[in-house]
């Protein structure tokens, strides 16, 4: 194993992240005050401890860590694109993964923070205030942080001592403008909260994506990172990205297992003793995969179901839970 690798794919937690060298001069950030790493594991312990990364994936994860660049992970469904983020967070002790699922309606603001002015207005009225002032002329709500909650991206950019892991899931489903909107944030490593910066006192303790009880101080209305987060962006290849976006990313393509032995090893990692009698189902999956797209998690479902039910016609039941995701279909189907 090359000595420069911090993430090794061993699935055993260690402090290798502390060997991360200083960033390139153009990727250095100085946000503060520096926050300690959050407590807790990745948030998906089974997936994190059973994932088997490819050598290419291990190398590219480390490249993203060294260069402080986002990692764009592409590949067909079921190849472990999302799981890679949890595996890295688990092994390097980087705390819970911040998950940002993307849809066609997702905007940059959704990932950065949410401000709830209606609840704030209601709270001011309930306290008997008028014209934005409370008793004695004090602000109607001095604790504005109660109404601001950072999103997954906004939380990842807090000035943590160690990088947080942010999973931007299925970015290829986003509006056409989102990848370009992300560029400025990724380059600067910071963003502004106008609702704070416009105030006489632009500081507050705001909520984070780690939960309503997890509050951090934001000063001068701006959040700036200290350790740039490991941003894992997944894509199923449903669209192309602009060159300006791609050149700022480290990329890796995950592929389906190349043979029955690799598939069998994955089944053993996930299902233990249930995998002892799965050779026929692994062979069935591998043979059927030549006629259309199948995902590895479909094989895991089939092995588990057949092992727990003890049905006589295992292949018939397995085929039912392993329908083709794409590919040619017989005329009589």
Quote the tokens at residue 265: 């090893």
pLDDT bracket for residue 78 (50, 70, 90): confident
Indicate the residue among 209, 228, 253 that finishes a domain: 253
Residue 169 is assigned to a structural domain of this protein: yes
Residues 249 and 264 in one domain: no
Write the pLDDT tens digit of every residue in 19-71.
999 999 999 999 999 999 898 898 889 989 999 999 999 999 999 999 999 99
Higher pLDDT, 139 or 236: 236
CATH value at residue 216: 3.40.50.300
pLDDT reading at 332 higher than 50: no
Q: How many whole angstroms separate alpha carbon 332 and alpha carbon 85?
A: 41
Residues 205 and 279 in one domain: no
Residue-level pLDDT at 293: 87
Residues 161 and 292 in one domain: no
Q: What one-character-per-residue DSSP string does 266-313 give?
A: HHHHHHGGGGGG-HHHHHHHHHHTTSSB--HHHHHHHHHHHHHH--S-
Q: How many whole angstroms separate alpha carbon 51 and alpha carbon 47?
A: 6
Residues 69 and 203 in one domain: yes
- How many folded domains does the chain comprise? 2
Write the pLDDT tens digit of every residue in 174-219.
999 999 999 999 999 999 999 999 998 899 999 999 987 889 999 9
Domain that holds residue 277: 260-320
Residues 67 and 169 in one domain: yes
Q: Which residues pair with 208 in a beta bridge?
A: 211
Indicate the residue among 253, 278, 306 that finishes a domain: 253
Residues 34 and 137 in one domain: yes
Residues 74 and 174 in one domain: yes
Q: Which residues pair with 100 in a beta bridge?
A: 168
Residue-level pLDDT at 139: 52
Residues 212 and 280 in one domain: no
pLDDT reading at 328 higher than 60: no
Strands 165-169 and 230-235: parallel
* List of residues 6+ apart from 3 with CB closer than 8 A: none
Q: How many whole angstroms separate alpha carbon 206 and alpha carbon 89?
A: 24
Residues 200 and 315 in one domain: no
Indicate the residue among 204, 232, 253 that finishes a domain: 253
Residue 211 is assigned to a structural domain of this protein: yes
Residue 137 is assigned to a structural domain of this protein: yes
Residues 125 and 162 in one domain: yes
pLDDT bracket for residue 1 (50, 70, 90): low
Residue 329 is assigned to a structural domain of this protein: no
Q: Strand, coil or helix: what is 330? A: coil
Write the pLDDT tens digit of every residue in 115-162.
988 888 877 777 655 444 543 333 544 688 889 999 999 999 999 999
Residue 9 is assigned to a structural domain of this protein: no
Residues 127 and 173 in one domain: yes
Q: Which residues pair with 169 in a beta bridge?
A: 101
Q: What is the pTM of this model?
A: 0.89
Residues 182 and 298 in one domain: no
Residue 298 is assigned to a structural domain of this protein: yes
Residue 332 is assigned to a structural domain of this protein: no
Residue-level pLDDT at 138: 38
Write the pLDDT tens digit of every residue in 267-309.
999 999 988 889 999 999 988 988 888 899 999 999 999 999 9
Residue-level pLDDT at 128: 58
Residue 155 is assigned to a structural domain of this protein: yes
Residue-level pLDDT at 44: 87
């Amino acid at each position: 194993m090359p000595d420069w690798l911090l993430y090794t794919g061993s699935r055993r937690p260690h402090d290798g992240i502390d060997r991360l060298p200083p960033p390139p001069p153009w990727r250095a950030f100085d946000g503060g005050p520096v926050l300690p790493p959050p407590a807790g594991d990745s948030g998906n312990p089974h997936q994190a401890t059973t994932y088997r990364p490819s050598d290419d994936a291990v190398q590219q994860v480390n490249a993203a860590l060294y260069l402080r660049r986002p990692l764009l992970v592409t590949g067909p469904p079921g190849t472990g694109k999302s799981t890679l983020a949890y595996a890295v967070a688990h092994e390097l002790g980087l705390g819970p993964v911040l998950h940002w699922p993307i849809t066609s309606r997702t905007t940059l603001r959704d990932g950065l923070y949410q401000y709830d002015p209606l609840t704030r207005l209601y709270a001011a009225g309930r306290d008997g205030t008028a014209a934005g002032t409370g008793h004695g002329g004090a602000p109607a709500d001095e604790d504005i942080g109660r109404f601001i909650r950072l999103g997954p991206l906004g939380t990842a950019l807090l000035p943590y001592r160690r990088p947080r892991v942010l999973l931007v899931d299925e970015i290829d489903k986003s509006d056409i403008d989102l990848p370009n909107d992300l560029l400025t944030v990724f380059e600067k490593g910071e963003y502004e909260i106008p609702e704070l910066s416009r105030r006489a006192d632009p500081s507050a303790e705001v909520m984070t994506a780690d939960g309503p009880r997890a509050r951090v101080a934001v000063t001068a209305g701006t959040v700036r990172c200290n350790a740039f987060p490991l941003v894992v962006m997944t894509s199923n290849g449903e669209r192309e990205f602009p060159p300006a976006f791609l050149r700022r990313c480290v990329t890796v393509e995950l592929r389906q297992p190349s043979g029955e032995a690799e598939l069998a090893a994955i089944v053993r990692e996930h299902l233990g003793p249930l995998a002892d009698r799965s050779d026929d189902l692994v062979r069935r999956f591998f043979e059927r995969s030549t006629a259309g797209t199948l995902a590895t998690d479909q094989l895991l479902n089939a092995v588990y179901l057949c092992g727990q039910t003890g049905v006589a016609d295992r292949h018939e039941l397995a085929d039912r839970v392993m329908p083709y995701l794409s590919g040619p279909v017989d005329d009589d189907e």
